């Protein structure tokens, strides 16, 4: 195995749900699914947050034969820049005596690291996967970073840029920097490891554990509790649903910056009897299976992993009609699509789905049969292996 291509995959961290999410999970699953007869995957979880989920994923990656390490301790604010610089130094020192062939970033801080580390790590190539619906977020600083890095720097310096949806490819290819550099992004879809979602755990046991009535209709969501995920809108929709179907329960699985705000809003709306904040969990398959309906209320997405996971568990989906998501959900066929940012529209979709159990079963079956097989991480890993081979071919 001495001729393997050494690929350093950089993610923001592995605190999945505490508060990290899809981009980091993608990096984990890609590393676990690469053919280790040809590829030596090494996962750099840049920030160490010191939360329980990190130990879970370290153990999981190690068991799969993937080297994993943290570059720096997480710190918010100006001190974080010093920690980031120290992290770059730690990565350089770690690979001082074993050059890296390819640096692959899945998140913006990883892309900056890839820019700075190619020479110190003697890497042959840099590749980045653009997963976020809006890279760098919605702040003024995020806007400035998009204009400088995403629009100009990244297309100029990365050997390959990958988009995870047709909508993302369109965004990448329309950048002026990409057009001037005459570069086209490659489409490789996001995906999931299907073996993680085979029948496991009891939906009944999970409801009992969380104190949810076995005969209740359960409308749940799983994700990071951040503004762009739309959970404030979800609570507004739950309040509308409650007026017509007061016994529906709404578990929300995950953690994030808005956790305290959302709990306060749920209390203010009088939803404390129907909304349950579960916190971050790793046992997502049985959590999905205890739901009668899964809702993704996001304001923007790349290609949402949680929708694929819900479909793989046979759960009907309500999601917002945004780029990326609509590549997975066809309204009326594989789920329901609501107007983004519109609680009335979201509530109407939830009520329609709950009122039509036969249709719920039909759309869930169609999604499982016709959508999920196209997003197997094994097939996606094969495509990345081909890209790595192209980039390192002598």
> What pLDDT, in 10s, does the model give residues 323-336?
999 999 999 999 99
Strand order, beta sheet including 293-296: 275-279, 250-253, 219-222, 293-296, 317-320, 336-338
The CATH number that applies at residue 136 is 3.40.50.2000
231 and 181 housed in the same domain? no
Q: What is the mean pLDDT of residues 146-173?
A: 95
Residue 1 reports pLDDT greater than 60: no
Give the span between the Cα atoms of 10 and 47, in whole angstroms: 10
Residue 184 reports pLDDT greater than 70: yes
175 and 244 housed in the same domain? no
Please give the full DSSP string across 178-229, using - where no structure is assigned: HHHHT---EE----B-GGGGSS-S-HHHHHHHHT--TTS-BEEEES--SGGG
77 and 223 housed in the same domain? no
Mean pLDDT in the chain? 94
CA angle 158/164/165 to nearest 5° reads: 125
Tokens representing 166? Answer: 């047709």
34 and 183 housed in the same domain? yes
Cβ neighbours, 10 Å, residue 304 = 29
Tokens representing 390? Answer: 């192209």
Tokens representing 51? Answer: 């939360």
Residue 139: what pLDDT?
84
pLDDT > 90 fraction of the chain, expressed in percent and rounded: 85
**Start-to-end C-alpha separation, the chain:** 18
Res. 195 pLDDT band, cuts 50 70 90:
confident
66 and 182 housed in the same domain? yes
> What pLDDT, in 10s, does the model give residues 61-108?
999 999 999 999 999 888 899 999 999 999 999 999 999 999 999 999
Q: Domain containing 64: what range? A: 5-191+376-392
63 and 151 housed in the same domain? yes
Residue 138: what pLDDT?
76
270 and 298 housed in the same domain? yes
Cβ neighbours, 10 Å, residue 390 = 11
Is residue 390 reached through a cis peptide bond, with omega within 30 degrees of 0 on the bond before it? Answer: no
199 and 149 housed in the same domain? no
Q: What is the pTM of this model?
A: 0.87
30 and 141 housed in the same domain? yes
253 and 366 housed in the same domain? yes
130 and 251 housed in the same domain? no
173 and 267 housed in the same domain? no
> What pLDDT, in 10s, does the model give residues 6-42?
999 999 999 987 778 888 999 999 999 999 999 999 9
The number of domains in the chain is 2
């Amino acid at each position: 195995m001495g001729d393997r291509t050494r690929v350093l995959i950089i993610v923001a961290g592995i605190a999945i749900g505490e508060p990290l999410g899809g981009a980091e999970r993608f990096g984990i699953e890609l590393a676990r699914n690469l053919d280790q007869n040809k590829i030596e995957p090494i996962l750099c979880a840049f920030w160490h947050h010191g939360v329980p989920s990190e130990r879970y994923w370290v153990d999981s990656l190690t068991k799969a034969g993937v080297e994993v390490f943290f570059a720096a301790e997480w710190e918010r604010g100006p001190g974080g820049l010093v920690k980031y610089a120290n992290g770059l130094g730690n990565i350089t020192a770690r690979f001082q005596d074993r050059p890296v062939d390819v640096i692959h970033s899945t998140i913006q801080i990883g892309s900056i690291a890839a820019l700075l580390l190619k020479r110190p790590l003697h890497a042959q190539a840099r590749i980045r996967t653009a997963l976020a619906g809006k890279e760098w977020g919605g702040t003024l600083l995020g806007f400035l970073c998009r204009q400088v890095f995403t629009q100009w720097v990244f297309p100029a310096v990365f050997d390959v840029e990958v988009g995870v949806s047709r909508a993302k490819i369109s965004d990448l290819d329309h950048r002026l920097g990409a057009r001037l550099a005459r570069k086209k992004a490659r489409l490789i879809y996001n995906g999931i490891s299907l073996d993680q979602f085979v029948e496991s755990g009891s939906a009944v046991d999970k409801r009992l554990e969380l104190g949810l009535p076995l005969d209740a209709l359960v409308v749940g969501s799983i994700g990071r509790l951040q503004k762009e995920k739309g959970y404030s809108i979800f609570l507004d929709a739950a309040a509308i649903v409650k007026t017509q179907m007061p016994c529906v329960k709404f578990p929300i699985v995950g953690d994030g910056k808005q956790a305290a705000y959302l709990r306060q809003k749920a209390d203010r709306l009088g939803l404390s009897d129907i909304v349950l904040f579960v916190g971050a969990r790793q046992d997502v398959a049985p959590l999905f299976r205890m739901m009668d309906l899964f809702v993704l209320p996001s304001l923007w997405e790349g290609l949402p992993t949680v929708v694929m996971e819900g479909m793989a568990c046979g759960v009907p989906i309500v999601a917002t009609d945004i780029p990326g998501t609509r590549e997975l959900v066809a309204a009326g066929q594989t789920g329901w699509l609501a107007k983004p940012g519109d609680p009335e529209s979201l509530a109407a979709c939830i009520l329609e789905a709950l009122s039509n159990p036969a249709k719920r079963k039909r759309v869930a079956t169609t999604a499982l049969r016709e959508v999920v097989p196209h997003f197997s991480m094994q097939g996606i890993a094969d495509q990345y292996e081909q890209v790595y081979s192209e980039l390192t071919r002598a």
